[in-house]
Amino acid sequence: MKILSSKTHGIIDYIFVLFLLASPTLFGMEGTLCTITYALGAVHLALTLLTDFEPGLVKVIPFRLHGLS
């Protein structure tokens, strides 16, 4: 059953990336936790940009594979 369209999914992905990248500042994270949070944000951004769906830019990762992560 499809709850979200792929376009909506992509928009939520970008919002989540912004949240991850802002979290260290918003919540006063330091050290390793801060580094891990920025790394997760960067990896999620790369995954979203490379996915073959409307919001993706390069479109090399199939949407089904994106959904497995």
Q: 33: pLDDT confidence band, cut at 50, 70 and 90?
A: very high
> Domain residue spans in the chain?
8-68
Asked if 32 and 24 touch (Cβ cutoff 8 Å), the reply is no
Picking from 61, 28, 64, the residue whose alpha carbon sits closest to that of residue 43 is 61
Would you tell me how many other CB atoms lie within 10 Å of the CB of residue 12?
A: 13
1 vs 65: which has the higher pLDDT: 65
What's the pTM value of the predicted model, to 2 decimals?
A: 0.88
Query: What are 40-66's pLDDT values in tens digits?
Result: 999 999 999 999 999 999 999 998 888
Q: Which of 38, 57, 45 is nearest to 16 (CA)?
A: 45
